Structure 1
Amino acid sequence: MTGPALKISSRGEPPYGRGLMITPGFVDVHIHPDKTTWGSGWMSRVPAQTLTDIIGNDLRAQLAFQDSVEDRAYALMSHAVLNGTMAMRAHVDVGPQIGLRNMHGVRAAAERLAPFLQVQVVAFPQFGLLSNPGTLDLMEASLAEGADLVGGIDPESVDGDLHGHLDAVYALANKHGRDVDIHLHDVGADGLAQLSVIAERTVAEGMQGRVTIGHGFALCDASHPDLGSTLDAMAEAGIWMATCALGADPVPDLDLFEKHGVKVALGSDGVRDAWSPFGTGSMMDRAHLLGYRTGASTDAELERCFRLATSAGAELIGSAEVKNFSGPESVDRLEFAANSIPELVVDRSAPLRVVRGGRAVALQA
């Protein structure tokens, strides 16, 4: 195993004077640490036109990595800790092409960071659940070995079987007592129709409040006539939306989501992987990008972006350290040189200190 370890610093408390802002920690609700090249050499990306092309590029890149999953994941996750992330939901690929090695690697990295970082692992069928023979058995095995959530991906465009895909996902969730987190990249009427079925199925299974949709690009077209009814169905089912404010990908109308009662939280998605050369693992950066992409300008809009990266994420994944934040006396907190939350989001400020259990986190040589 390589990479620096983390430790608790013994430095004393700084004075709480003007210009020192104390905030809760960040929560990254959608990240793929098994795919990252963080801490490794540069990877040149191959152009891709379709989701199938991108997934194929991703698999080839993963099979060619020289550094272990654990080392790469640890490099990224420890960097996230030092930038204020206290909890994350990690989507980890499962499939016969790679077996369970990604889950084992991310779990090993998470164990090394256990004093500093809460990690939920999603068993994610990136290469297809039903359309990739052998994946369903490996999903079962990953859950038996401790994966925290059941993942899904584009039931129609990747698996070609909406109801069959959902049957498998919800059956696994019910059998193992797990929540569900489904990537949905499909857009337009087809994407909204899938979301409506997912909402209906969630209510039928009695899983209200236990399902998350990642990306949900179909929900980002405010002109679509069925958007309002789809959002209402999601709100009734208590389905969360995890958005990542990626590149040219669509972003949700946050006012509209609030109007319809759909909860939103923020994540990084891929960080310097085969999908994109961008990403830093910093949720402050991600809050800034969400504000920029959604045209945030008022203090309230910028504060909302920060909230989606902190307390909203903590509500989704159950991070007590972030949920229980109560101000400067909190033993788990971030300290910034700033005068306001909007200033933090615009400046993309790095924390002066990340405090866990009342003591500052620092790199150990």
Structure 2
Amino acid sequence: MPEATTGTAAHHDGAPAPGRVVAGGLVDAHIHPDKSNWGGPWMSRTAAAGLSEFIANDLATQRGYTRSVEERAYGLLSTALANGTLAMRAHVDVSSELGLRNVEGVRTAASRLAPWLTVQIVAFPQFGLLTNPGTLEVMAASLDAGADLVGGIDPLGLEGDVDAHLDAVFGLAERSGRDLDIHLHDGGEPGLAQIREIAACTVARGMQGRVTVSHAFALAEQSAPSLRETLDRVAEAGLWVTTCALGDDPVLDPELLEAHGVELALGSDGVRDSWTPFGTGSMVDRAHLFAYRTGAMTDAQLERAYRIASEQGGRLLGIPELSAPAAADAPTRLEFAGESLAQLVVDRPAPERVVRDGRTLAAR
């Protein structure tokens, strides 16, 4: 367990010490800790031609792990915490085959890091919902076993029935009083049409501000005829969107989303799992990748990348202390060696000090 000390590095007038930058705590808005091989031996990966093959590789990899979900997840979560992540939304696989074990493993790992790290768990039907009978019942049970949100996945591309999939996940969210976070990899006009349908369902069911579309690759296709109309529908419905800047995946344009009033947060997605050999557990590193891939150059653009990885994630998860810039003497803050927030995004350091609720995380 992390240990804590009390105190502050700020001067008596509240100014940060020379050569030190005070920043808000980081939030990983989309991560899959149950899939990770963090801390294990090198794992060679099999190339995949598309989403279905990636999913099949993932299931085979999970069947082959000899270390528990808790052990692997704890290694990744504790590394993220040491790098300044104070909250995360973890998408955790639930299926008729896996049952509740991944949710229980991640929840146990997260409990070992409380109250330093706040973890929201999404019950995620990675291996199908309509196409994998019994999964919806396991998802409902997971909400009593440590999951916080209902998840969904590509209603058209993987499930083949947009209306039935959305009825299932929105229905479960309504019955349980939980929020909803839907993976959507489908691109082009079919992807945009699904996003508009999610927005319409959100409004019809009075769930504005409580629904997230993860990845939303279709929103990155700026030549799509219906893109701007779709962004307006997203904003009207209060949908959140998350992006991860991973590999060759499309990355959403923060300026375009801001212009349409769309809320954006940033996550790591897969970290050292069957999907990718990459990932460090650092959201400063992820902010760097996001800034790089979106062409950030000015200080304001670099600072925006940090905000999307911190304050925006705090707002998505509903954590007030992580939803605003941190003052020099704030009870929850990160302290870095450096000159400016923009420099941090470029240099990608780990924080020298992690403070939450007035307590300092001891060096490990």
Write the deviation string for residues 96-128 of structure 1: whole angstroms up to 9, x where unpaired: 221110000000011111120011000000000
Match of residue 355 from structure 1? 355
The question of whether the paired residues in 2 share the 8 Å contact of 1:325 and 1:332 is answered with no
Query: Judging changes above 3 Å, is the alpha-carbon distance between structure 1 residues 341 and 12 closer, same or farther for their aligned structure 2 residues?
Result: closer
The question of whether the paired residues in 2 share the 8 Å contact of 1:302 and 1:345 is answered with yes
Does the alignment pair 1:31 with 2:27? no
The aligned runs of 1:236-275 (5 Å cut-off) are: 236-275=236-275
Does the alignment pair 1:6 with 2:2? yes
Aligned residue for 1:202, secondary structure, equals: helix
Match of residue 128 from structure 2? 128
Aligned residue for 2:180, secondary structure, equals: strand
Aligned residue for 1:144, secondary structure, equals: coil
Q: For 2:324 and 2:218, locate their aligned partners in 1 and report how far apart those are by CA, in whole Å.
A: 34
Does the alignment pair 1:314 with 2:314? yes
Shift of 1:18: 1.8
Match of residue 154 from structure 2? 154
The question of whether the paired residues in 2 share the 8 Å contact of 1:222 and 1:253 is answered with no
Shift of 1:321: 2.7
Match of residue 344 from structure 2? 344
Q: For 2:327 and 2:6, locate their aligned partners in 1 and report how far apart those are by CA, in whole Å.
A: 21
What code does the residue aligned with 2:159 have? D
Write the deviation string for residues 280-303 of structure 1: whole angstroms up to 9, x where unpaired: 110000000000000000111111
What code does the residue aligned with 2:236 have? E
- The share of aligned pairs that are identical, in percent, is 58
Aligned residue for 1:66, secondary structure, equals: coil
What code does the residue aligned with 2:286 have? R
Q: For 1:98 and 1:173, locate their aligned partners in 2 and report how far apart those are by CA, in whole Å.
A: 21
Shift of 1:363: 4.8
The aligned runs of 1:1-365 (5 Å cut-off) are: 5-9=1-5, 13=9, 16-323=16-323, 326-363=326-363
Q: For 2:358 and 2:174, locate their aligned partners in 1 and report how far apart those are by CA, in whole Å.
A: 39
Question: How many residues of Structure 1 are paired with residues of Structure 2 in the alignment?
Answer: 360
TM-score normalised over the length of structure 2:
0.96
Aligned residue for 2:2, secondary structure, equals: strand
What code does the residue aligned with 2:3 have? K
Q: For 2:231 and 2:320, locate their aligned partners in 1 and report how far apart those are by CA, in whole Å.
A: 28
Q: For 1:207 and 1:79, locate their aligned partners in 2 and report how far apart those are by CA, in whole Å.
A: 34
Query: Judging changes above 3 Å, is the alpha-carbon distance between structure 1 residues 13 and 326 closer, same or farther for their aligned structure 2 residues?
Result: closer
TM-score normalised over the length of structure 1:
0.96
The question of whether the paired residues in 2 share the 8 Å contact of 1:285 and 1:348 is answered with yes
Shift of 1:326: 4.1
Q: For 2:6 and 2:44, locate their aligned partners in 1 and report how far apart those are by CA, in whole Å.
A: 42
Shift of 1:42: 1.2
Structure 2, unpaired ranges of 5+: none
Shift of 1:357: 2.7
The question of whether the paired residues in 1 share the 8 Å contact of 2:196 and 2:230 is answered with yes
The question of whether the paired residues in 2 share the 8 Å contact of 1:76 and 1:281 is answered with yes
What code does the residue aligned with 2:191 have? G
Write the deviation string for residues 4-50 of structure 1: whole angstroms up to 9, x where unpaired: x3211468747643211111100111000000011111111011001
Structure 1, unpaired ranges of 5+: none
Q: For 2:227 and 2:201, locate their aligned partners in 1 and report how far apart those are by CA, in whole Å.
A: 18
Aligned residue for 1:6, secondary structure, equals: coil
The question of whether the paired residues in 2 share the 8 Å contact of 1:314 and 1:322 is answered with yes
Q: For 2:48 and 2:222, locate their aligned partners in 1 and report how far apart those are by CA, in whole Å.
A: 27
Q: For 1:281 and 1:92, locate their aligned partners in 2 and report how far apart those are by CA, in whole Å.
A: 17
Q: For 1:310 and 1:28, locate their aligned partners in 2 and report how far apart those are by CA, in whole Å.
A: 8
What code does the residue aligned with 1:7 have? E
Q: CA RMSD in A?
A: 1.3
Shift of 1:237: 0.3
What code does the residue aligned with 2:340 have? S
Shift of 1:222: 0.7
The question of whether the paired residues in 2 share the 8 Å contact of 1:118 and 1:319 is answered with no
Shift of 1:82: 0.4
